[in-house]
A and B are shown apart, each in its own frame.
Chain A
């Protein structure tokens, strides 16, 4: 399991715009870089990131090799109802990781 750093507010006022920040440990090997033996290292990147609020997708992104190692993404969403935020990363070589965070929305 790759290490993940998520910044999700524990509580939010209903209707307010909150910023979510997600970082995952991953080399994002580009597939253009030779390794120590001189052979080009095969590509190994995260292809897709998605964030869902109670199952409804609020943000997603397709990543390419030009994204730096340990991909970091910051984005915003509107706080609607108390619930679970699900963050998923999918990538090459069957890479898949899911993290969840609870958020309480106050009226």
Chain B
């Protein structure tokens, strides 16, 4: 039987162990993933992107998300890529969609998983080299089954 003192001394280690078990992205890994999406010298600006996702999600296993970007979608000025990133899923990346002037409209819809309440960011890469983004907070009551 370990003494109370020994248990207390081991508590921080146990806490760290339990914290690392469900793999989780952090705001830092999300920043890295976004930096990889932007490439060299890309700067992120807010606006032109709209995320349509329920602010309160009951079931994180399948969450409908729609992303629309304001763009004329002409050969001269169109959206090339749309990326979605999360802060606290096991991995920050969600989807990268490749579009072109033949898309007609810059709008995609899919269904994603959310491991917990967190911030989601959608980024649009334009043909002129600019990047636009929107982020939104989502509250999840039942998380996606990361832990079985």
A associates with B: yes
B133 nearest CB across to chain A (Å)? 18
Q: Which residues of A contact B97 (CB under 8 A)?
A: 59-61, 75
The answer, yes or no, to whether A68 is at the interface (CB within 8 Å) is yes
Interface string of B68-105 (1 = CB under 8 A from A): 00000000000000000010011101111111101111
Which of chain A's residues has its CB closest to B102's CB?
Answer: A58
- Cβ 8 A contact of A76, one of B107, B110, B148: B107
Q: Are B23 and A74 within 8 A (Cβ)?
A: no
Interface-forming stretch among A28-36, A87-95, A98-106? A28-36
Residues on the B chain within 8 Å of A63, using CB: 95
Is B40 an interface position by the 8 A CB rule? no
Identify which of B61, B98, B110 contacts A69 (C-beta below 8 A): B61
Question: When chains A and B are docked, how far (Å) is the Cα of A33 from the Cα of B90?
Answer: 10
- CB-CB nearest in chain A for B105: A76
Is the beta-carbon distance between A64 and B107 smaller than 8 angstroms?
no
Q: A34-B147, A59-B98, A68-B63 are in contact. Are A77 and B104 (CB under 8 A)?
A: yes
Tell me the count of chain B residues lying within 8 A, CB to CB, of chain A.
Answer: 33
Known: A75-B103, A76-B107. A61 touches B96 (CB 8 A): yes
**A96 close to chain B: CB less than 8 A:** no
Closest B residue to A63 by beta carbon equals B95
A32 to B145, CA, bound (A): 9
| A65 and B62 contact, CB distance less than 8 A | no
- A64 in contact with B93 (CB, 8 Å): yes
Question: Do A66 and B62 have beta carbons less than 8 Å apart?
Answer: no
Q: Are B96 and A67 in contact (CB under 8 A)?
A: no
Q: In the complex, which of the residues A35, A56, A60, A68 contacts B98, with contact meaning CB atoms closer than 8 Å?
A: A60
A-B contact pairs, 25 of them (CB 8 A): A18-B104, A32-B22, A34-B147, A58-B100, A58-B102, A59-B98, A60-B97, A60-B98, A61-B98, A61-B108, A66-B89, A66-B93, A66-B113, A68-B110, A73-B109, A74-B66, A74-B108, A74-B110, A75-B97, A75-B107, A76-B104, A76-B105, A77-B103, A78-B103, A80-B102
